[in-house]
Structure 1
Amino acid sequence: MECLELDSSDFFLDGDPIDSPLEIHLESNSLASTKAVPDHRRYAQLHCSNAPDPPPLPGTSYGARRSSRKTTACSRVPGGILDSWDKLFLEGYQADLRVSTDDGSEILSHSCVLGVKSPVLRAMLEDAELTNGFRCIRISGAPSGAVHVFIRFLYSSRFEQEQIKKHVLHLLVLSHVFSVPSLKTVCIDQLERNFLAPDNVVDILQLAGLCDAPRLSLICTRMIIGDFKTISLTDGWKVMRRVNPNLEQELLESLVEADTKRQERAKKMEEKKVYLQLYEAMEALIHICREGCRTIGPRDQALKGSRAGVCKFPACKGIELLVRHFSGCSVRVPGGCANCKRMWQLLELHSRMCFSPDTCKVPLCRHFKEKMQHLGRKEETKWNLLVCKVLESRGAMSFISERRKFSALKTAGPGSRHVAPCLVGPI
């Protein structure tokens, strides 16, 4: 006799506890050990260039040979066939097997159907003795209603929604014990869609671990992490904390890891926002120095005046104020005025992103290009990393376009060899 015992006294489903333990017993008259199910014979076809295909060997059939080909067109079973299989189970026509349950009821079925659908049941049936022309096996630890739904599913893969709602936990255990993966998938889907709640998610997580259901375990873990404050106050968490402290430790570690990832994500989003603002500042600076905007711009361009429409560059207003301050500040040294220091940094960043310093109208662009040649390696690496981050903040396509321009600048001549090498490729 084989036994799988799962203490489920604390399992809850829709507010009602399951009083009976999930304890599945497999019994037959002389069950020794699970036997390996022999595979069907497979025959290889001979392929000759001048000879036709040989006929099938004795014991094969035309349908068996065709089953090895693609069967996508016949993957859906007509409803009439499922009705016939359902009727065969419900009426018990020509049944040769009796499945007994804990309450003494018997379910008539066909040993060939159960043996094909479950290798565990096949081993039990091979060792079961005949009694009055019937094989007899016993499934204990589950309500007779759950066993009835389980055997019906083996016939036609059908179930009533109310029945699956009532016996879903027992059916999950039965599907695991008897190795019926299709039923396990149905139970996991039903639990995920309709039954998971803060008051039972800890119990279902423990059951998922015992029944080898990794997807259900992952779903339960995510739900616990997402609403940890509420779930940690439930009775299921208190029981789990007492009887399974290792699982509690794993959940707490997962919670810390998820919180760390959330903080890292928020930090990266904030950094990306800063880099995007720098990119917009570069665009606005070039726009002001090349075309002019409202009341500020180059001397050889006619200004549009204050009546012009709204500027399409979002950072233009801030850069305009910064440029006006920079042009009239009496200090104007990098360490003397915070606004001037910011302006110096923007001008230097522009010079590292500029591809045409000879015709560029941004002030001090050529000055910073020459200054690059005398910087130390550490300082150069810091600036190059900043340039890459600013370009990446605009998107992959923009970044690829900028890298191509840097590659062209690298091979243009010796005058640009100090700029391009550090900006092309990862740093």
Structure 2
Amino acid sequence: MSCKSYNTHIEESNPATVLTLLGDLASSVSSNSNIPKPPQLPSKMYRRSKHPSRPPECSFVLKETKDIWDKLFKEGHGADVFIITDDQSYLLAHSSVLSAASPVLHNIIQQSIVKDGMKHIKIPGVHYESIYVFVRFLYSSCYEEQKMKKNVLHLLVLSHCYLVPSLKRVCIHLLEQGWLTQENVIDVLQLARSCDAPRLSFICVRMVVKDFRTISSTEGWKVMKHANPALEQELIESFVKADSRKQEKLRKMEEKKVYLELYEAMEALLHICQEGCRTIGPRDKVLKGSRVTCNYPACKGLEALVRHFSNCKTRVPGGCVHCKRMWQLFELHSQMCSEPDSCKVPLCRHFKEKMQQQSQKDEAKWRLLVSKVVNAKNALGPFSARPSKFIMTN
């Protein structure tokens, strides 16, 4: 059984100790200062215990008080109302309690028929157990978790129809905390829309979109498809939009990978041309051999591409695809290089001069490419170890 109440915790303090400390502080100040007397300290400090897992509608009522109201409901002592269910079962209740808990029940009781000194009211469309949990909650806000879970959808409808916001918040809270399943999410979504529970509705739609293929084959979906085709169309459109966003995100991630690989290729190219790598580099550098580990991820593939470029006989535009990539790397480097006069990368200065003759369209295209390459590297951070797909590998 869960009773939504807080136990009050009382903590004793020692006013004399605090007053002594304040007196010492006051005496240390010049006697000429006009310092008002401190207010009288309270002798007790109240602090409530923390229950982070409980919903925000928890009340500050002692458990003993809740138990008294729960006992009144279960024993029915002094009851003056018969609540009749669809299966002709009945519950005893007190009109004063029902009227205070629900304005709708108050109106129903005012118009009810009196037989043998008892008022008779009927709550249609809901079985006995749900009504039992509902009326018990009206008395004491107490419930058994298993019965609440079993009847939560009926209780959500009852709380909305009879204007019991505290019960409505409990139902929504419990559904949001893990009682939603693939089988009931469509039913809960339709009830959430009917019972003005927008947050619960949003959570249901998000769950449907996330596991659309499984949920769209459930019995609840089939019933909804015939009863509410507009909702089915809305959910399908939500799924399509979410899938499109997912595909767009994947496309942008792949695009960033390409730009990052280009940046790594630029670093490796500069490394080979300035410092030399294992088996390739400037003539004035002593090479370290193929067994030495290189810290540039793209270096091995770029080394193979440079060797091919130096020996290929088809180095014309539109000719060898590997040589074309090498030309593109040289040109991209020149677009990013800030010291073309002293740069050791081949053709760097040549492409810098060629840039002066570019059209505005070509210039804007290269400027955009350079910015994307640099941004991809900055977004990832200073460390990366990805093999480059842009350059030729062995």
Match of 1:145 in 2: 129
Match of 1:209 in 2: 193
| 1:92-138 deviation digits (Å, cap 9, x = unpaired) | 598676362323523434736863x5554566678889999988765
1:359 paired with 2:360, answer no
Match of 1:106 in 2: 91
Select which of 329, 338, 351 maps to 2:312: 329
Looking at structure 2, the residues matched to 273 and 267 of structure 1 have their Cα atoms a distance apart, in angstroms, of 10
| 1:185-226 deviation digits (Å, cap 9, x = unpaired) | 332343345543334333332222212223333333333334
Select which of 365, 373, 379 maps to 1:396: 379
Match of 1:84 in 2: 65
The percent of aligned pairs where both chains have the same amino acid is 54
1:262 paired with 2:246, answer yes
Verify the 8 A CA contact 1:295 1:306 in the aligned structure 2. yes
Match of 1:24 in 2: none
Deviation of 1:316 (Å): 0.6
User: How high is the TM-score relative to the length of structure 2?
Assistant: 0.71
Match of 2:42 in 1: none
User: How high is the TM-score relative to the length of structure 1?
Assistant: 0.66
Match of 2:28 in 1: none
Verify the 8 A CA contact 2:268 2:296 in the aligned structure 1. yes
Select which of 236, 239, 244 maps to 1:252: 236
| 1:44-96 deviation digits (Å, cap 9, x = unpaired) | xxxxxxxxxxxxxxxxxxxxxxxxxxx99688779970332232232259867
Alpha-carbon distance change, 199 to 359 in structure 1, aligned in 2, over 3 angstroms = same
Looking at structure 2, the residues matched to 369 and 375 of structure 1 have their Cα atoms a distance apart, in angstroms, of 10
- Give ranges in structure 1 of 5+ residues lacking alignment: 1-70, 400-427
Verify the 8 A CA contact 1:391 1:398 in the aligned structure 2. no
Q: Provide the secondary structure at the position in 1 that maps to 2:256.
A: helix
Looking at structure 1, the residues matched to 267 and 82 of structure 2 have their Cα atoms a distance apart, in angstroms, of 78
User: Which deviates the most, 282-291 or 100-109?
Assistant: 100-109
User: Which deviates the most, 89-98 or 311-320?
Assistant: 89-98
Looking at structure 2, the residues matched to 134 and 355 of structure 1 have their Cα atoms a distance apart, in angstroms, of 95
1:345 paired with 2:328, answer yes
Looking at structure 2, the residues matched to 107 and 355 of structure 1 have their Cα atoms a distance apart, in angstroms, of 88
Verify the 8 A CA contact 1:173 1:211 in the aligned structure 2. yes
Looking at structure 2, the residues matched to 83 and 361 of structure 1 have their Cα atoms a distance apart, in angstroms, of 86
Deviation of 1:294 (Å): 0.6
Cα RMSD for the two superposed structures: 3.4
Verify the 8 A CA contact 2:70 2:142 in the aligned structure 1. no
Alpha-carbon distance change, 75 to 225 in structure 1, aligned in 2, over 3 angstroms = closer
Looking at structure 2, the residues matched to 272 and 251 of structure 1 have their Cα atoms a distance apart, in angstroms, of 32
- Give ranges in structure 2 of 5+ residues lacking alignment: 1-45, 52-57, 383-394
Looking at structure 2, the residues matched to 72 and 354 of structure 1 have their Cα atoms a distance apart, in angstroms, of 66
Alpha-carbon distance change, 172 to 197 in structure 1, aligned in 2, over 3 angstroms = same
Match of 1:50 in 2: none
Select which of 378, 383, 389 maps to 2:366: 383
Alpha-carbon distance change, 391 to 124 in structure 1, aligned in 2, over 3 angstroms = farther
For 1:160, give the aligned amino acid. Answer: E
| 1:210-263 deviation digits (Å, cap 9, x = unpaired) | 122233333333333344434333333332222222112212222222222222
Alpha-carbon distance change, 174 to 218 in structure 1, aligned in 2, over 3 angstroms = same
Q: Provide the secondary structure at the position in 2 that maps to 1:393.
A: helix
Alpha-carbon distance change, 244 to 150 in structure 1, aligned in 2, over 3 angstroms = same
1:295 paired with 2:279, answer yes
For 1:168, give the aligned amino acid. Answer: V
Looking at structure 1, the residues matched to 48 and 184 of structure 2 have their Cα atoms a distance apart, in angstroms, of 42
Looking at structure 2, the residues matched to 291 and 302 of structure 1 have their Cα atoms a distance apart, in angstroms, of 9
Aligned residues, how many?
A: 327
Deviation of 1:318 (Å): 0.7
